[in-house]
C-alpha cells in the first residue's frame, strides 16, 4: 500500500485539481446571485431547468413513500432514485441537493479524461483537456448549478465507457470486460437513450477487430459482453447475464466457444428487440411533420410541438464551434489536434462516436454538441503538450503549457460570467403554488400551459394535463383551446378533458383492452356526443350540453409570464382539426417599450395610440377602439380597473396594465379569452370560477362546475 507510484500520485493530484476547478467555476453563478432573493425558495436557490422539476417530483415521492396512480411521477427513474438516495444519506436540504447535484456529478468527467490521457502516457494532456472540457460552453450550460437534468452524468458515463474500451483493447485484461459491461448497465439505467452511443462503440470495436486484430479472441469476448449488457430487457436481468458471461469467459474450456457466445448475444439482442429503439430514433429525425395526423378514426390534424421548439433548428458554424471548444480558433485547433493525436495514438479513434454524436447537432439540435466536448478537448490539449515538449528548457515547457491553457480557458470563463441564467420560477410565483399545496388534494388537477406542468406538480403536488414530457399536439389542443377561448366553453372543456384523461388511464391498466387504439380525448368526446365533426362538438360547448360526473377539483394556474407565449399557445388550437387548415392570426400585441409624444403614445412596430381621438394607428391605417382599459393594484394589492367603451362596433381593444408598465392590443377573440379575462382583468364569471389565490405574478382560479 505504501508503494503508490509517482505517476499514480500525480494522476490523483491532477484529478483533484481539475475537479476543484470545475466546481469553482460553477460557483461563479452562486456568487453573482447570492443576494437575489427572487431566485430562492425556503432560503435555497431554485433550479433553472423546467425538466428538473420532473425528476424532483419523483425523488420527493420516493422519499415520502406515496404517490398517486397516473400522476406521472417518475419514481422508477434513475435521476429521481439517485437524488432520493443522496437526500437520505447527505445532511443537506432537498432543495440544496437538487441545486448542487449537477455541479458535483458533472465535474466527475475529469476522471475518465485524465485516466484516458494516462493510458497514452500523457498526463499533462489529460489535465489540460479536463480543465477545458469541464467548463466548455455547452457542457457548462447543461451542467451548471441548478441545471438539474440527466446531462449531469450523460457525458461522464460514456467517457468512462470510452476509457474502459481503450484499456480493454490496449491491455486485453479480463477486468476491463467486466468494467465495460457494468458501465453500459449504469449508463443505460441513467439514460435509456444511451443505446445509440453504445451501439456505435460496438460497431467501431467490431470494425477494429475484423480489420486489425481478427485472431484475437478477447475482442469477441468484449463484443459479446457488451451486447449482453445492451439487451432490451430489464437491468436486473442483464446484470446476472453479464456476470454469467464473465464467468464463462474466465473458464479455460469455454474459450473455444467464444464465437458461439458472441452469436448468441447478437441473436438475443435482436430477439429482445434491441434494434427497435435505434430504428425508432432514425424515424423520429427523418419524419418531422408539421401537422401530425392519426390514420384511423376521424383522422384529426394536430399542431406539432416540433414547430415551436427552437432547439431542433439548424445552427451556424461559429455557435457550434463555440459550444464545443469555447472559441472558433480553439475548435479548429481541436479538430486538427485530434486528427494528429489519432495519427500518433490510433487507440484514440475510439472517441469518434462521441465526436460524431456531437456533430449531429447540425441536424439534431444544439444539445448534442456536449458529446464532442471532451474528445475534442484532447485534440487541443495534445497540441499544447506537443508544442511545450519541444521547448528548449523545462521552465519554458511549463510556462508555455500554462500560458496556452489559460488562453483556451479564457473565452469559456468569460462565457460563464456572462451566462446569467435565471431560475425557472421566481419566489412570488412559487409562493402561490406553495400556498395552493395546502388547499388542494393530490388527485386534483391544475391546468396550465405545458411549460409550467413539472414545476406545478413539484411545488403544489397535484396532477396536470400537459407537461415538459407530455405535450403532443393532441393533448395540447384542449388546454390551448381553454386558455384562448371564452370562460364558459373553457370551463366545460376543462371538466371534460380532465374526466376523459382519468378515464383513459384505466384501459392501460387493463391488459384485456391493451390492443385498443387510443384516440385523442377530443375525438372520443366528439364521438360520444354523437357527432363526427370536431367543429360541431366544439361549437356545442357553447350550448347547454350534458357534463360528465365530477370526480375531483380543477384549478387554472395563470402566470403573468404566459403573456409572452400567448401567441404560441394559440397556435395549438387555432386550426381546423378536421382538415388541418390554420385559422387567421389573431391580434395580440404586447408593447413594453413605448414613448409618449404630446398627442400620441408610440407602441413600437408602427403602432401608435392617438390620445386625442382615442384611436389606434397600425401602420398607415387608423382603427377605432372598442374599449380602453386601465388596470392597477390598489394599496391592498387588489386589482382595480377602469373600462371605457369607445365604439361598441369596433373590433380592437387596448389594455394598459399600469403596474406592469405595458400596453396590450387585442382583438375581440383575444380580449374575451380565459387568460386575458382571468389573469389580466380578473373579470371572472362567478358561476364558473372562484378566485383562490393571486398575486401580480400568477393567479389561480378554481373551477366550480
Ligand atoms: Mn403526486
Residue intervals of the chain classified under CATH 3.40.1380.40 are 427-561
Task: Please give the distance, rounded to the nearest whole angstrom, from the Cα atom of residue 467 to the centre of ligand 1.
Answer: 14
What would the pLDDT profile of 260-305 be if each residue is shown by its tens digit? 999 999 999 999 988 887 777 666 655 554 444 445 678 888 887 5
Task: Please give the distance, rounded to the nearest whole angstrom, from the Cα atom of residue 444 to the centre of ligand 1.
Answer: 10
Rounded to two decimals, what is the model's pTM?
A: 0.90
According to DSSP, residue 486 is labeled: -
Nearest residue to 380 via CA among 324, 335, 343 = 335
What φ, ψ does residue 643 adopt, rounded to 5°?
-115, 120
Task: Please give the distance, rounded to the nearest whole angstrom, from the Cα atom of residue 456 to the centre of ligand 1.
Answer: 10
What distance in Å separates the CA atoms of residue 314 and residue 320, rounded to the nearest whole number? 10
Task: Please give the distance, rounded to the nearest whole angstrom, from the Cα atom of residue 442 to the centre of ligand 1.
Answer: 6
Task: Please give the distance, rounded to the nearest whole angstrom, from the Cα atom of residue 271 to the centre of ligand 1.
Answer: 37
Task: Please give the distance, rounded to the nearest whole angstrom, from the Cα atom of residue 67 to the centre of ligand 1.
Answer: 5
Task: Please give the distance, rounded to the nearest whole angstrom, from the Cα atom of residue 460 to the centre of ligand 1.
Answer: 9
CA dihedral over 538, 540, 542, 546, signed as positive or negative: negative
**pLDDT for the residue numbered 147:** 97
C-alpha cell read off for 241 = 447475464
What distance in Å separates the CA atoms of residue 451 and residue 436, rounded to the nearest whole number? 18
Task: Please give the distance, rounded to the nearest whole angstrom, from the Cα atom of residue 72 to the centre of ligand 1.
Answer: 8
Task: Please give the distance, rounded to the nearest whole angstrom, from the Cα atom of residue 576 to the centre of ligand 1.
Answer: 34
Task: Please give the distance, rounded to the nearest whole angstrom, from the Cα atom of residue 427 to the centre of ligand 1.
Answer: 22
Task: Please give the distance, rounded to the nearest whole angstrom, from the Cα atom of residue 66 to the centre of ligand 1.
Answer: 8
User: Half-sphere exposure of residue 438, counting CA atoms within 13 Å on the CB side?
Assistant: 5
Task: Please give the distance, rounded to the nearest whole angstrom, from the Cα atom of residue 439 to the centre of ligand 1.
Answer: 14
Nearest residue to 369 via CA among 319, 335, 407, 408 = 319
CB 104 within 8 A of CB 120: no
Number of H helices, E strands in the chain: 30, 17
Task: Please give the distance, rounded to the nearest whole angstrom, from the Cα atom of residue 636 to the centre of ligand 1.
Answer: 34
Task: Please give the distance, rounded to the nearest whole angstrom, from the Cα atom of residue 137 to the centre of ligand 1.
Answer: 36
CB-count exposure of residue 636 (10 Å: 0-12, 13-18, 19+): exposed
Task: Please give the distance, rounded to the nearest whole angstrom, from the Cα atom of residue 465 to the centre of ligand 1.
Answer: 13
For the chain, list residues with pLDDT below 50.
Answer: 289-294, 310-312, 511-515
SS3 of residue 291 by DSSP: strand
Task: Please give the distance, rounded to the nearest whole angstrom, from the Cα atom of residue 558 to the centre of ligand 1.
Answer: 20
Task: Please give the distance, rounded to the nearest whole angstrom, from the Cα atom of residue 114 to the centre of ligand 1.
Answer: 42
Task: Please give the distance, rounded to the nearest whole angstrom, from the Cα atom of residue 553 to the centre of ligand 1.
Answer: 15
Task: Please give the distance, rounded to the nearest whole angstrom, from the Cα atom of residue 443 to the centre of ligand 1.
Answer: 7
Task: Please give the distance, rounded to the nearest whole angstrom, from the Cα atom of residue 545 to the centre of ligand 1.
Answer: 31
What distance in Å separates the CA atoms of residue 555 and residue 575, rounded to the nearest whole number? 26
Task: Please give the distance, rounded to the nearest whole angstrom, from the Cα atom of residue 566 to the centre of ligand 1.
Answer: 28
Residue 453: other Cβ atoms inside 10 A: 27
What distance in Å separates the CA atoms of residue 320 and residue 38, rounded to the nearest whole number? 33
What distance in Å separates the CA atoms of residue 628 and residue 664, rounded to the nearest whole number? 10
**pLDDT for the residue numbered 277:** 76
Task: Please give the distance, rounded to the nearest whole angstrom, from the Cα atom of residue 471 to the centre of ligand 1.
Answer: 19
- The topology (CATH level 3) of 427-561 is Pyruvate Kinase; Chain: A, domain 1 (3.40.1380)
Task: Please give the distance, rounded to the nearest whole angstrom, from the Cα atom of residue 693 to the centre of ligand 1.
Answer: 21
Task: Please give the distance, rounded to the nearest whole angstrom, from the Cα atom of residue 118 to the centre of ligand 1.
Answer: 47
Task: Please give the distance, rounded to the nearest whole angstrom, from the Cα atom of residue 449 to the centre of ligand 1.
Answer: 18
Please provide the size of the chain in residues.
Answer: 705
Task: Please give the distance, rounded to the nearest whole angstrom, from the Cα atom of residue 463 to the centre of ligand 1.
Answer: 6
Task: Please give the distance, rounded to the nearest whole angstrom, from the Cα atom of residue 305 to the centre of ligand 1.
Answer: 26
CB 547 within 8 A of CB 492: yes
What φ, ψ does residue 648 adopt, rounded to 5°?
-65, -15
DSSP-derived secondary structure for 669-701: HHHTSHHIIIIIS----TTTEEEEEEETTEEEE
**pLDDT for the residue numbered 511:** 43
Task: Please give the distance, rounded to the nearest whole angstrom, from the Cα atom of residue 46 to the centre of ligand 1.
Answer: 20
CB 458 within 8 A of CB 47: no
Amino acid at each position: 500500500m505504501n508503494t503508490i507510484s509517482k505517476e499514480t500520485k500525480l494522476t490523483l493530484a491532477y484529478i483533484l485539481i481539475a475537479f476543484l476547478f470545475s466546481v469553482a467555476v460553477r460557483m461563479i453563478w452562486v456568487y453573482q446571485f447570492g443576494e437575489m432573493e427572487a431566485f430562492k425558495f425556503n432560503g435555497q436557490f431554485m433550479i433553472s431547468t423546467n425538466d428538473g422539476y420532473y425528476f424532483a417530483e419523483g425523488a420527493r415521492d420516493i422519499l415520502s413513500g406515496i404517490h398517486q396512480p397516473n400522476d406521472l411521477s417518475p419514481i422508477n427513474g434513475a435521476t429521481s432514485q439517485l437524488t432520493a438516495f443522496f437526500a437520505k444519506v447527505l445532511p443537506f436540504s432537498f432543495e440544496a441537493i437538487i441545486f448542487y447535484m449537477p455541479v458535483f456529478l458533472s465535474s466527475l468527467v475529469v476522471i475518465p479524461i485524465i485516466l484516458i490521457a494516462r493510458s497514452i502516457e500523457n498526463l499533462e494532456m489529460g489535465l489540460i483537456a479536463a480543465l477545458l472540457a469541464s467548463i466548455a460552453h455547452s457542457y457548462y450550460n447543461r451542467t451548471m448549478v441548478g441545471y438539474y437534468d440527466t446531462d449531469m452524468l450523460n457525458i461522464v458515463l460514456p467517457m468512462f465507457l470510452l476509457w474502459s474500451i481503450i484499456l480493454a483493447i490496449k491491455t486485453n485484461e479480463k477486468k476491463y470486460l467486466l468494467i465495460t459491461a457494468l458501465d453500459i448497465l449504469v449508463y443505460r439505467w441513467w439514460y435509456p437513450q444511451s443505446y445509440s452511443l453504445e451501439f456505435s462503440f460496438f460497431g467501431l470495436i467490431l470494425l477494429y477487430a475484423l480489420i486489425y486484430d481478427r485472431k484475437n479472441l478477447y475482442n469477441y469476448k468484449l463484443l459479446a459482453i457488451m451486447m449482453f449488457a445492451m439487451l432490451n430487457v430489464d437491468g436486473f436481468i442483464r446484470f446476472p447475464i453479464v456476470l454469467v458471461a464473465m464467468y464463462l469467459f474466465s473458464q479455460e474450456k469455454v474459450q473455444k466457444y467464444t464465437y458461439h457466445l458472441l452469436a448468441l448475444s447478437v441473436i438475443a439482442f435482436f430477439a429482445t428487440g434491441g434494434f427497435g429503439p435505434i430504428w425508432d430514433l432514425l424515424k423520429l429525425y427523418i419524419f418531422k411533420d408539421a401537422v401530425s395526423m392519426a390514420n384511423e378514426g376521424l383522422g384529426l390534424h394536430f399542431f406539432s410541438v416540433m414547430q415551436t421548439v427552437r432547439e431542433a433548428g439548424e445552427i451556424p458554424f461559429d455557435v457550434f464551434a463555440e459550444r464545443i471548444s469555447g472559441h472558433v480558433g480553439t475548435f479548429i485547433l481541436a479538430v486538427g489536434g485530434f486528427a494528429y493525436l489519432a495519427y500518433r495514438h490510433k487507440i484514440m479513434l475510439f472517441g469518434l462516436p462521441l465526436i460524431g454524436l456531437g456533430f449531429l447537432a447540425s441536424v439534431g439540435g444544439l444539445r448534442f454538441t456536449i458529446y464532442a466536448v471532451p474528445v475534442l478537448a484532447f485534440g487541443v490539449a495534445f497540441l499544447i503538450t506537443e508544442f511545450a515538449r519541444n521547448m528548449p528548457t523545462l521552465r519554458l515547457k511549463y510556462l508555455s503549457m500554462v500560458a496556452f491553457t489559460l488562453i483556451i480557458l479564457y473565452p469559456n470563463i468569460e462565457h460563464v460570467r456572462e451566462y446569467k441564467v435565471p431560475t425557472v420560477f421566481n419566489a412570488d410565483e412559487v409562493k402561490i403554488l406553495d400556498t395552493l399545496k395546502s388547499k388542494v388534494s393530490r388527485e386534483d388537477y391544475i391546468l396550465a400551459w405545458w411549460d409550467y406542468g413539472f414545476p406545478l406538480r413539484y411545488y403544489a403536488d397535484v396532477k396536470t394535463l400537459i407537461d415538459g414530457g407530455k405535450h403532443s399536439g393532441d393533448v395540447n389542443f384542449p388546454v390551448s383551446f381553454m386558455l384562448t377561448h371564452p370562460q364558459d366553453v373553457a370551463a366545460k372543456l376543462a371538466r371534460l378533458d380532465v374526466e376523459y384523461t382519468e378515464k383513459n388511464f384505466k384501459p392501460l391498466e387493463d391488459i384485456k383492452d391493451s390492443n385498443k387504439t387510443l384516440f385523442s380525448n377530443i375525438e372520443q368526446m366528439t364521438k360520444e356526443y354523437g357527432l363526427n365533426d370536431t367543429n360541431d362538438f366544439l361549437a356545442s360547448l357553447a350550448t347547454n350540453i350534458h357534463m360528465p360526473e365530477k370526480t375531483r377539483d380543477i384549478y387554472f394556474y395563470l402566470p403573468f409570464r404566459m403573456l409572452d407565449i400567448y401567441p404560441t399557445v394559440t397556435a395549438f388550437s387555432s386550426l381546423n382539426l378536421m382538415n388541418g387548415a390554420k385559422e387567421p392570426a389573431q391580434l395580440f400585441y404586447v408593447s413594453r417599450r413605448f414613448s409618449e409624444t404630446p398627442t400620441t403614445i408610440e407602441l413600437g412596430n408602427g403602432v401608435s395610440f392617438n390620445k386625442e381621438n382615442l384611436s389606434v394607428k397600425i401602420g398607415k391605417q387608423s382603427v377605432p377602439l372598442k374599449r380602453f382599459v386601465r388596470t392597477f393594484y390598489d394599496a391592498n394589492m387588489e386589482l382595480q380597473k377602469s373600462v371605457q367603451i369607445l365604439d361598441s362596433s369596433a373590433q380592437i381593444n387596448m389594455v394598459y396594465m399600469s403596474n406592469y408598465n405595458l400596453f396590450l392590443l387585442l382583438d375581440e377573440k383575444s380580449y374575451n379569452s380565459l387568460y386575458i379575462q382571468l389573469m389580466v382583468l380578473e373579470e371572472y364569471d362567478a358561476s364558473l370560477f372562484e378566485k383562490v389565490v393571486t398575486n401580480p405574478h400568477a393567479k389561480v382560479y378554481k373551477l366550480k362546475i
